[in-house]
Amino acid sequence: MANPSRSQIAGAPRLRVVQAGPVEAKAPPPSDEELIQAIENCDGSAADALYERLFGVVDGTLYRVFGRREVDHDDLVQTAFEQIVTTLARRKYARACSLSTWASTIASHVGLNALRARRRERRVFDRGVSADAERLGPVSGDGESRESARAEIRGHLAAMAPEKATTLFLHDVLGHELAEIAVMTGVSVSAAQSRLVRGRRELQDRVRGSA
C-alpha cells in the first residue's frame, strides 16, 4: 500500500485532542489516632469510619467465641461497638495497645458474657427436661464429636471466673502476647501470666471431671 502524499495528509480532518483536567487525589483514610480524637470530640461522622475499620476484628472475635454466627450475632456486634465508642468517648482507651487489639478485647468480653448468660438460662431450662432426654448423648461422628468438644470447652469457659476465662481466650485462642493482655486487662504481666496458668489448670480439671 502506497504511503499517503503530503497533500492527502494536509486535507485529512484533524482529531481534536481534549486535555483532561487534573485528577483529584482520593483522600487517605483517617488514622487510628484521628478516629480516636474524632470520637473523643463527639464527632458523629467518625462512627462509620470506625465501624469499617474494626468490623472485621469484632466480627471475627465473636465468631471464635461461639464457633459460629449465632442468631443474635448482629446484636452482639452492635453491643461491642457501643462499648468501644463509649470507652473512647470517655477517654478510657490509654493507647498502650493498637485500636484493633483493644476492640478484640471488648468483643471478647461481650462474647464471654453472652456465653455466661446462656449458661444461666440453660440451667433454668434444664430443670424441666425429662430424665430420658438428659440421657440422650450426641450423635456419633468425627465432625460432630469435635464440635461437641468445642461446645463443652465454651461451657467450661463460661463457668470460670471472668478474668481467667478472658485471659485464656485472648492468649490461647486469639494469640495475643501476655504483655498485650496485661495492657488490655489493666494488670501486670506477672498477674496476666498467673491468670493464664490458673485458667489452663482449671480448664483441664473441668474437662477431666466431665470425661
Q: Is residue 125 domain-shared with residue 183, that is, in the same domain?
A: no
Closest CA to 192 of 160, 169, 158: 169
Q: Is residue 126 domain-shared with residue 171, that is, in the same domain?
A: no
Residue 31: what pLDDT?
87
Give the global pTM.
Answer: 0.67
Q: Is residue 36 domain-shared with residue 125, that is, in the same domain?
A: yes
Residue 111: what pLDDT?
92
Q: How large is the average pLDDT for residues 190-200? A: 93
pLDDT digits (tens, 9 = 90+) for 119-140: 777 654 444 433 333 333 344 4
Distance between CA atoms of residues 36 and 94, nearest Å: 11
Residue ranges making up the domain that contains 166:
141-211
Residue 97: what pLDDT?
84
Q: Is residue 157 domain-shared with residue 107, that is, in the same domain?
A: no
Q: Is residue 136 part of a domain?
A: no
Decide which of 130, 149, 176 is a domain's last residue: 130
C-beta pairs of 184-192 under 8 Å, 24+ apart in sequence = 184/97, 184/101, 184/102, 184/105, 185/105, 192/167
pLDDT digits (tens, 9 = 90+) for 154-164: 888 888 998 99
Higher pLDDT, 60 or 91: 60
Q: Is residue 8 part of a domain?
A: no
pLDDT digits (tens, 9 = 90+) for 3-50: 555 555 455 455 455 555 555 556 677 888 988 888 888 887 788 889
Residue 164: give its domain's CATH number. Answer: 1.10.10.10
| pLDDT of 148 above 60 | yes
Band of pLDDT at residue 201, cut at 50, 70 and 90: very high
Q: Is residue 121 domain-shared with residue 173, that is, in the same domain?
A: no
Residue 78: give its domain's CATH number. Answer: 1.10.1740.10
Q: Is residue 195 part of a domain?
A: yes
Q: Is residue 118 part of a domain?
A: yes
